[in-house]
Structure 1
Amino acid sequence: MNIKLIVVGKLKEKYLKQGISEYAKRLSKFCKLNIIEVADEKAPEKLSAAQMEQVKQTEGIRILDKIKDREYVFALAILGQERSSEEFAKEISELTTYGHSDLTFVIGGSLGLSSAVLKRANTQISFGRFTLPHQLMRLVLVEQIYRSFMINSGSPYHK
């Protein structure tokens, strides 16, 4: 199984890199994890709605360029569907059972994802209505992916 994270921007914080690295190591016995960073657009504090849309569209083109047709895509979006860890684990298990061995998760930049990326996604997933830094979201997502594999394997990690 292949799991790809497409993320906007570079990860700078050492503690986040260490956490992601730890979960990536743990995940290596379950899947091949690939994290692809695409460049973020410079976005000054005060942008018009049209300028914000342009930033999202430019980042969206970069994201879509990294997605292949056969990939099942989860877009992380605040208005996406919330799932429990158990529901997420079941969803991953069912996807792999029914032939989806390439799962892709997309985390947008500070302004979110373009409508084109949201349209390409097979599903939108939300981790709640909190706003989290997208760099921190990477760590949360990788931990939840690991947790889903542990749930599916019957491990006590989840408790």
Structure 2
Amino acid sequence: MRVHIACIGRLKNGPERTLFERYEDRIGKAGRGVSVGPLSVTELGESRAQRDDDRKAEEARALLAAMPAGAVIIALDEAGKTLSSAAFSHELLRLRDAGTGDIVFAIGGPDGHGNALLEAARVTLAFGPMTWPHQIARVLLAEQIYRAITIASGHPYHRA
């Protein structure tokens, strides 16, 4: 199962990019053994619309247009449900075992996701009730995908 992150905003050079690239590389290597990955990233620019609803709608259209046809969409949203790492791993493997070819994790812009994307999403997930900067949310997501792979493969990285 191919894993994609589609996001509004670009990750600039710096410690966040370095850490993200470390997990991206780990996902590519460790994921082969459990048929998850590689990880690809699509970065889209923020809308310049004046109203926040217009920005969210425009960004939602751009995100949806950038996704592979038939992909399962998981939206990251502060109002989404929270999962333990083990439950996240279980859900990722359940989708893989169901024959999912592509899974896309969508990270919206500063205003959040537009309704079109939220309606297209199979589920919305949150990294807790706090709001995280997008560059950190991307690193957290990559780490959790890697952790899910290590849980699936029995690697000692996850010590529950």
Tell me the equivalent position of 1:34: 40
Cα-to-partner distance string for 1:62-114 (whole Å, 9 max, x where unaligned): 10111233111100011111100000000011110111131100000111000
> Residue deviations 1:10-62, cap 9 Å, x none?
1124101100110011111211111000111247xxx7xxx110111111111
TM-score, length-normalised on structure 1? 0.92
Pairing 1:41-80 to 2, within 5 Å after superposition: 41-42=47-48, 51-80=51-80
SS at match of 2:112: coil
> Which residues of 2 match residues 7-156 of structure 1 at below 5 A?
7-29=7-29, 30=31, 31-42=37-48, 51-156=51-156
Letter paired with 2:120: R
User: Is the 2:81–2:124 Cα contact (8 Å) retained in structure 1?
Assistant: yes
Q: Which letter does structure 2 place at the counterpart of 1:4?
A: H
What stretches of structure 1 move > 3 A for 4+ residues in a row? Answer: none
Separation (CA, whole Å) in 1 of partners of 2:115 and 2:4 = 20
1-structure distance, mates of 2:26, 2:46:
29
SS of residue matched to 2:157: helix
User: Distance between the aligned counterparts of 1:57 and 1:144, measured in 2?
Assistant: 28
Tell me the amino acid that sits aligned with residue 70 of structure 1.
G
CA distance in 2, matches of 1:114, 1:154: 38
Identical amino acids, percent of aligned pairs: 33
TM-score (structure 2 length as normaliser) = 0.92
Unaligned stretches of 5+ residues in structure 1: none
Q: Say if 2:68 and 2:102, in contact at 8 Å, map to a contact too.
A: no
